[in-house]
Structure formats: C-alpha cells, structure tokens
Amino acid sequence: MQPTSHQLTSAEKKAAAALALIFSSRMLGLFMLLPVFAIYGTELAGFSPLWIGLAIGAYGFTQALLQIPMGWLSDKIGRHQVMLLGLGLFALGSVVAALADSVYMVTFGRVLQGAGAIAGAVLALAADLTREEQRPKVMAIIGMSIGLSFAAAMVLGPMIAARAGLSGVFWFTAAMALLAMGLVLRTPKAIHQAPQRETLAVPALLGKLLRSPQLLRLNLGIMLLHFLLTALFIALPQQLLALDFGSDAHWHLYLPVLFGSFVLMVPMIIISVRKQQEIAFFRLALVLLFSATLLFWLGAAQLPLLAAALLLFFTGFNYLEASLPALLSRQAPAGQKGTAMGLYSSAQFFGAFLGGLAGGLVASKFGLPAVFLLSTLLTIGWLASTVGMSVPAKAERLSIDLSNKTSREAEALLLQLTGLPGVLEATLVPEEQRCYLKVQAGSFDYQQLQSLQAS
C-alpha cells in the first residue's frame, strides 16, 4: 500500500529520526554544563561568578554569530560537509574543555563548541529530504528532540559529574559528537534542494525582518527566555548547595520537576489552540515565569519554595519554547520563513550568551539573590511588551516551481493565485523561478491551484 500525502514515507521517517538524533546529541552536550558548572568548576584556576557565566554562555556567542553563515555555507559546499565540520568543531571544543585546568580554557572550549553551528544545515537537509506537505511533521520531530535532550541533560549532567567530574561531562559530549558524525555519514544525501527561502536566510531580507514589530517581539522573547534560563543556572546550583542539598542528588530534583512541568504544559498548549487563546496563554506562561523568578528571590532559603519555583519556571519555559517557533512561522511573510527562523535562532543563542554574561556580573557584584531579582524585573518588562501582540490566522506554506513558465506567464499566474480564496500572501522570486504562497489552513482549494498550474 502506497503512503498517502498525509503519511511520512519510510525514507522520510528514517531521515527525521537520524536528523533528530544528530541535532539532539549536540544540544545535549551544550545543555549538560548548565546544572553542573557552578558546582564542579570551583577547582579550576580563575574560577569566579563572572567566569561561571562566561563559560556557560560562551557557546551562545559563536552560535549566534555563525548560525546564519553556516547555513549559507551548506548551500555552497553541501549539508553533510557543514554538519561534519560543525560536529568536528564541537568535538574539538569538548576535548579542549575536558583537558582544561583553568576556567579560561573551558570558556575557550565552549566557544569552539558553539562554532559548530549546524542548526541551519540540519533543518535545510530535513527540508531537502521531505515532501513539502510533510515538512512540518519532520520539523516538529526535530523540535521535540531538542526538548527531550534538555530534559536528559538536566539529569545526565549531575549524574556524570558526580562520578567523573567536570571533565567527564566534556568527554561524554565529545563522544556524543563523534556518534553524531557517524549518523551524518549514514544519512542519505538529498536528491533535490528544498526552496531556499523557506529553509535558509536570505541576506537581502535580514534588515526588513529586523524592523517588523511582531517578529521583533518574538525574537526578543526567545532571547529573554534563554537569558533567563542561563542566568538561573548560574545561581540555582550554588543556592541548592547552600541549603545542604548535595550535588550528586540535584538530578533527584530536576527529574520530577521537568516531568511535572511537561504534564502541566501539554494541556496549556492543547487548550490554547482549541480555544484560539494563544495570546492569553502566552501571557499566562509569562506570569508563571514572573511568579517563579519572584519565588526564587523571596524563597531562596527554603528548598520546598525553590522546588515550587522550578516547577513554575519550567512549565512556563516549556510552553514558550514550544509556542514561540509556531507563532514565528505564522508571522513570517511568504518566502521569508528561512530568514525569519535564522534571525530567531541567532537571537536564541545570543540570549544564552547575554544571560551568562549578565548573570555572572550581577552574581559577582551583588550576590546570587540579585540574579533572581534581575530575572524578575526582565519578566515584568517582557509581559509589558505583549501589549499590541497579535496572532495571525493559521497558515500553510507552499512553493510553486515556475521553471516551465516565461516571466510573463509567471506574473500572470501570480495575479491569478493572489485572487484565489484563502491566499494570504503570494511572492514571486524570478531568480529562483518559484512562487511562494501563504494560504489560510482549511479554506484554500488545492484543486484550483492544480488547475492553474496545468493551464
């Protein structure tokens, strides 16, 4: 029985699984330092609260700088080559950090880890290997793998560090990078290239999208979200130690909290979509973050309050981490999703860098509670910025090959497409011989599109 257009083929399933493993193994290595460095890095020469933040957030700086350029490079030399290069840099950075005896060399290792910015190449290959109507499913699988890798990192990081120290964590991440390189070699090469504008950033569009008020809110949002996450783990592990909660038992707290936050977050997503209350639940998630950071600040001396704050924080965090990309995809203009996602990813990693830098500075000058207070103030500002935020109608994205059309025929087709019911946007890109459509889900007639293409 042949698969229908609503099912992933066997090849698409294998590609999704392989790319999800590649992506998540790398993210696992990046996340694993969060819960352990503030504890196990104390024996390194030059250790200080500032350098805790720099070492934790350093990967975000190079990730933010190289995320878009590495995606462009994958168009020039190939997706697999860029993925192998990036994973090689990640493995090298892990080895440098594992052998380091100073916080400065660990930070340098983290910079090298971040230089392996392969997200753009992975997502572009995922698009190349899948049919257009199945790409959202494959991207969702990769997205879920990131969430799972974060949860695993919160548990594995403390467990490995308790047995093998900080260097053991970095040796583990190096092994994961090598495993991912083996998976890349076994991943099939694309037989076609997906439409560039829906997968990779276009340089000429960067300035335009940076000026979009709605997209700017979302980019600042993901930046703040990862700022808060990184800053939290500069202060929280040390605060737990101050309450005589042993470092080897920290995963006993993280595991049930993450599980509980997932249980609470899923109904939020389901209800927000069914009731079409995305903005209301978005603000609710921000209220959860505000409540969590306030509780971290006021209840730092009591373990039950810290546990409750952590549950609130990760419920809000997980909801926003899942909903922000979906909102961005709906806001991005037709033919500009790749650029929008490139800016979004760069903002995400830059937020991690800023969170490490600012959190380390504040902790070194004013103490750990001040980090929680800073986070509380930022969530208030973020909540205020949602005034005027809007959610467009649910949309699907299509790309139409016009290589068999003359320029005049293509322009005529564009006018006809624009007039079809359910078409929200249509963009003609002559140099690619392609038209990009953004259509309203459920009200667009695909048969009319096929008829126009055939005429």
Identify whether 409 is part of a domain.
Answer: yes
Please tell me whether residues 407 and 352 are part of one structural domain.
Answer: no
Domain count, the chain: 3
Question: Is residue 212 one of the residues assigned to a domain?
Answer: no
- Same domain? 25 vs 125: yes
Together in a domain, 167 and 231: no
**What pLDDT does 8 receive?**
79
377 and 450 within one domain: no
Q: CA 314, CA 151: separation in Å to the nearest integer?
A: 10
Angle (CA) 54 60 61, round 5°:
80
Q: Are residues 322 and 418 both part of a single domain?
A: no
**Residues 153 and 30 reside in one and the same domain:** yes
pLDDT of amino acid 329: 79
- Establish if 205 belongs to a structural domain: no
| Boundary residue ending a domain (200, 226, 243) | 200
> Domain containing 409: what range?
395-454
What is the structure's pLDDT at 421? Answer: 85
Give, as one character, the DSSP assignment of residue 45: B
Say if residue 307 is in the same domain as residue 195.
Answer: no
Same domain, 23 and 159: yes
- Same domain for 128 and 24, yes or no, is yes
Instruction: Starting at the earlier edge strand, list the strands of the sheet with 434-440.
Output: 395-401, 434-440, 423-429
Does residue 208 lie in a domain region? Answer: no
My answer on whether 377 and 403 are in the same domain is no
pLDDT at 122: 87
Mean pLDDT split into 10-residue runs, the chain, 455 residues: 60 86 86 91 91 92 92 88 95 96 96 91 83 74 83 91 94 94 87 66 84 90 95 92 88 92 91 87 96 92 92 94 84 82 90 95 93 96 88 77 84 84 83 82 76 72
Contact 429, 197 (CB under 8 A): yes
Domain stops at, among 360, 375, 392: 392
Q: What is the CATH number of the domain that holds 444?
A: 3.30.70.100
φ/ψ (deg, to 5) at 423: -80, 120
**What Å distances lie between residue 190 and 126, 199, 382, 432, CA to CA?**
9, 14, 41, 18
Residue 376 Cα distances to 227, 239, 292, angstroms:
12, 17, 8
> Is 209 within the bounds of a domain?
no
Coil vs helix vs strand at 435:
strand
User: Is residue 210 one of the residues assigned to a domain?
Assistant: no
Same domain assignment for residues 373 and 406: no
CA angle (414, 419, 424) in 5-degree steps: 85
Range 126-130, long-range pairs (CB < 8 A, 24+ positions):
126/15, 126/16, 126/19, 127/194, 127/195, 127/198, 127/199, 128/79, 128/190, 128/192, 128/193, 128/194, 128/199, 129/11, 129/12, 129/15, 129/19, 129/188, 129/190, 130/8, 130/12, 130/15, 130/16, 130/194
User: Is 247 within the bounds of a domain?
Assistant: yes
Question: If DSSP codes are grouped into helix, strand and coil, which group holds residue 436?
Answer: strand
**Domain boundary residue, one of 342, 359, 392:** 392
Q: What is the CATH number of the domain that holds 366?
A: 1.20.1250.20
Residue 330 lies in a domain: yes
* pLDDT reported for residue 159: 92
Q: Are residues 384 and 441 in the same domain?
A: no
